[in-house]
Structure 1
Amino acid sequence: MKALNTFDTELRRNLLILFTAGLLFWSSLSSLLPTLPLYIDDGGASKQEIGIVMGSFAIGLLLFRPMLGRLADERGRKIVLLIGTIVAAIAPFGYLATQSIGLLILVRIFHGISVAAFTTGYSALIADLAPAETRGEIIGYMTLATPLGLAIGPALGGYLEATSGYGILFLVSAELGFFALLGIVQVMNPPVQTQEQTEAEDRNYWQILNSPQVRVPTIVMLLVGLSIGAVHTFVSLFLKSSQVDFNGGLFFTASAIASFSIRVFAGKASDRFGRGLFITFGILCYVLALILLWQAHSPMVFLLAAIAEGAGGGTLISMMIVMMADRSLPEERGQIFALCIAGLDLGIAIAAPLLGIIAEQVGYRDMFGYGAAITSVALVIFVTQSSKNLSNSLRFALGLAPDVYALKNLKIRSEEI
């Protein structure tokens, strides 16, 4: 990673600690991905109840992310990172204490705060530290903590559930969150760098959300969130019901490996070819993954679906973060990240109960078919609405034109005028 070699020793140390904390955090969270639906199912819950419990995780994200985004801008990124890791260390004890649907919903909402805080602070801090010319490369590498954690966590969680039971699983999940907290305590907390006073600094959330550079990515993330929620909530149960010899934990591990592999070069390539091309590719991968799940009858097809899903996440989410960093001032970056990613949160929140109802009616297989159609709508919206007009949007989405909403391009256009 050549860009990292240009940083001073203290900054490299800070990034290394931050990366390690991210790895531990995502390992803690994802250890419950393939196992928690089974834990709820063992308690006698219906498909719809499983969907409601799993989906309530996103309620915590939606309720608290706007406040946490503003807190990150006003008080610094470290405070929200501390909140995220503290919640990650506490929440697993809540699952251990009960199998009551009502109480599990409350625990799941509380657990959702961890992701709202950690992802907002992590993304904003890295965007602050990364130079604009190598922003894609730095963010691409630093966000590798997510797929690595998503590779380790499900495999670890599945193994612990099978060999030691749910009690040890929840204890290990809490311990990983605690070690992430110890790492964040050591992270330096640089002040948010502000630029000259602008009208953008006075915008409220609704004004920011209504701006085209934020509105369209948020809608795209909302629709893709439906697909992510469907996969993460129901793929283990689908595998169980289909009796295909393919472990749910292996599905998420294969997905994470694919996500890791593509991020290694996608971030740096986006600095050269633009963010739009990779966002388009990411959405296409999600469409393909859902189509494969819709048609899956063998372990190989499930494996291909996992790879496609991982490739989608590895490009779309990281490149969306980079694109929003390109489009935001440091003093409102936390809020803009919070709003854009809140679209993803809302999609996940809707996905579990909504698609759980569909799964009750038509089965898991056709539910994934509906998900493929919804994600195709996200692709159409991005390709046609991501820039100032249809022509520019299409060119940007195909990597043939720069992002007109990026601050450096807005500055060039204003100077030309």
Structure 2
Amino acid sequence: MKVFWTLEPPERRNLLILFASGLLFWTCMGSLLPTLPLYVQHVGGTDRQVGIVMGAFAIGLLLFRPWLGKLADRRSRKLVLLLGAFVAAIAPFGYLFVQSIPLLIAIRAFHGIAIAAFTTGYTALVVDLSPIGQRGELIGYMSLVTPIGIALGPAIGGLLQAGAGYDRLFLFAAALGISSYFGLGLIKEARKLKSQERLEKLDISGQAQVKSIWKILTDPALVIPSLVLLLVGFGFGALSTFVPLYVAAAKVDLNAGWFYTATAISSFSVRVFIGRASDRYGRGLFITASILCYCVAMLMLWQAKSAIGFLLAGLIEGAGLGTLLPMMVALLSDRSSPLERGRVFAICISGFDLGAAIAAPAFGSLAQYIGYANIFAVCTGLVTLALLIFITSGSKDLAHSLRFALGQEKDMYAFQEIRSFGTGDI
């Protein structure tokens, strides 16, 4: 945590406010994870309708991410953050007053905008405020808000729903969103960050030029991370949807909630350490290790026959995801300028969102034919493919890619200043 005291007071203040607001936001979102499906059933929804309502979240998430990324670049990171917190604050009122399934689907789709906006603005602003040489470390620390919030939120939400009912649960979630919104209002965002001004002056070999969406989608430096995130996203979506059903079908004496607790603890633990290490040893080594962890976790779930097997798989999956997402954010920030960073994050990280969104209906259709265990066999193959793609195509050619993936070479796609100096600020 010493890195925070090396920052200028305004940057340190902004990051601390951002962390507190992020924690409130993710606790708000987490409080509805275990309770909203029960609410849909409570108002008369079938199992199929529960799936549709919960899956509608991806509509707002995927449709609005690119536009929000563009808004973050052209207008303000803070504006996009405020929009995300605002949606998180008002969506619970929709659940409070609506009991029609079609309207719940619409509200859930609207609610997806909250994640799209908040994660895009949060990530871009954290990177903007982080010195290059300590970027991975700060991203690792600041990303802790997600596992902490997702660990606290469901526990609080479940207890509140059981003890006080749905009305007070939704009011509590709204209060958290409102608190996050007002907290974000205290952030003082400069009209143009110093890093942006200097980058525009340097225009390192033309790298500071803003790419169109099409160029982002076809740039090998960005499309390979996006493809890796897409394939891993399938595994995450399958894990999020089918582990409880798999545990029940396998007749294992385990509350599936403990599986997700194990993943949250593991994810939290690795984020404390990996950011700083990646600043020293490079992003490639840790991305390789994280995908390998995911491969092992999917393989273990495929073969799981006991509570210990499921819990170990959860711990390894948490370590993989807790490493992969911060490292991918750091990698994408190394490969993009502040002038386009919001769009790059929005578009590339949408790969993970898309994989997770497709996984539930795609694997749900297969489950009746191949069983839950074999879903994770398919996921093992997809994540292994992601590992092979990163190892062979993560840099400019096969030789560079292998060395980068094993931590033996700097990122050849990173901005020249980052490759040359490795520390210091732009």
Residue by residue over 1:185-205, the C-alpha shift from the partner in whole angstroms, topping out at 9 and shown as x without a partner, is: 111112342423547534210
* Counterpart Cα distance in 1 of 2:301 and 2:162: 25
In the alignment, which residue of structure 2 is the partner of 1:333? Answer: 341
- For structure 2, list consecutive stretches of 5 or more residues without a partner in the other structure: 422-426
Could you tell me the percent identity over the aligned residues? 55
Give the 5 Å matches for 1:14-413.
14-40=14-40, 43-46=44-47, 49-98=49-98, 100-192=100-192, 193-194=196-197, 195-196=199-200, 198=206, 201-408=209-416
Deviation at 1:39?
A: 4.1
**Separation of aligned partners in 2, 1:142 and 1:403:** 23
Q: Please give the secondary structure, in 2, of the residue aligned with 1:187.
A: coil
Letter in 1 for 2:47: S
Deviates more, 1:324-333 or 1:31-40: 31-40
- SS of the residue aligned with 2:209? helix
Q: Deviation of residue 404 (structure 1)?
A: 0.4
Structure 1 residues 410 and 146, CA, compared in 2 at 3 Å: closer, same or farther? closer
Structure 1 residue 38: deviation in Å?
Answer: 4.3
Indicate if the aligned counterparts of 2:132 and 2:418 stay in contact, CA closer than 8 A: no
What is the deviation of 1:231? 1.9
User: Using the alignment, how far apart are the partners of 2:178 and 2:373 within structure 1?
Assistant: 38
Tell me by how many angstroms 1:282 deviates: 1.3
CA distance in structure 2 between the partners assigned to 1:309 and 1:288 by the alignment: 8
Q: 1:240 to 1:182 in 2, by over 3 A?
A: farther
TM-score, normalised on structure 2? Answer: 0.90
Amino acid at match of 1:294: W
How far is 1:240 from its partner? 4.5
Q: Distance in 2 between matches of 1:109 and 1:293?
A: 31
Do the aligned partners of 1:54 and 1:233 also contact (CA within 8 Å) in 2?
A: no
CA contact (8 A) 1:155 1:249 kept: no
Instruction: Please state how far the C-alpha of 1:127 moved relative to its aligned partner.
Output: 0.6
Task: Give, in whole Å, the separation in 2 of the partners of 1:259 and 1:94.
Answer: 32
In 1: Cα distance, 2:8 partner to 2:344 partner: 28
Q: CA deviation at 1:328?
A: 0.9
Cα deviation code 1:320-371 (max 9, x no counterpart): 0001111111111111111111111111221122122222433333223222
Which whole-Å CA distance do the structure 2 matches of 1:377 and 1:330 have between them?
31
Structure-1 separation of matches of 2:399 and 2:334? 21
**Cα offset for 1:35?**
3.4
Deviates more, 1:122-131 or 1:171-180: 171-180
Per-residue deviation, 1:230: 1.7
Q: Distance in 2 between matches of 1:157 and 1:247?
A: 17
For the residues of structure 2 that align with 1:410 and 1:136, how far apart are their CA atoms?
A: 12
**8 Å CA contact 2:85, 2:118 repeated in 1:** yes
CA distance in 1, matches of 2:16, 2:258: 28
Aligned length: 412
Relative to 1, partners in 2 of residues 1:241 and 1:408: Cα closer, same or farther, differing over 3 Å?
A: same
Q: Is the 8 A contact 2:45 2:101 kept in 1?
A: no
**Structure 1, unaligned runs of 5 or more:** none
Measured in 2, the distance between the counterparts of 1:99 and 1:237 equals: 26
Seen in structure 2, the aligned counterparts of structure 1 residues 282 and 345 have a Cα distance that, compared at 3 Å, is: same
User: Which segment is superposed worse, 107-116 or 25-34?
Assistant: 25-34
Of the structure 1 ranges 194-203 and 402-411, higher mean CA displacement relative to structure 2 is found in 194-203
- Report how far residue 175 of structure 1 moved: 2.2
What SS does structure 2 have at the residue aligned with 1:201?
Answer: coil
- Per-residue CA deviations over 1:41-88 (Å, capped at 9, x if unaligned) read 5645235x4444333212211111111111111111000000111111
Q: CA shift at 1:99, angstroms?
A: 5.3
Amino acid at match of 1:208: I
Amino acid in the other structure paired with 2:176: L
Deviation at 1:283, TM superposition (A): 1.3
- CA gap of 1:126–1:168, structure 2 versus 1, over 3 A, is same
Contact 1:83–1:114 (CA under 8 A) maintained in structure 2:
yes
Deviation at 1:163, TM superposition (A): 3.9
What amino acid does structure 1 have at the position aligned with 2:27?
S
Per the TM alignment, residue 244 of structure 1 is displaced from its structure 2 partner at its CA by: 3.5
Q: Report the CA distance between 1:242 and its aligned residue.
A: 4.4
Letter in 1 for 2:36: L
Amino acid at match of 1:146: T
1:241 and 1:83 mapped to 2: Cα distance?
Answer: 41
- Specify whether residues 397 and 293 from structure 1 end up closer, same or farther in structure 2 by C-alpha distance, changes over 3 A only: same
1:98 and 1:388 map into 2 onto residues whose CA distance is 52
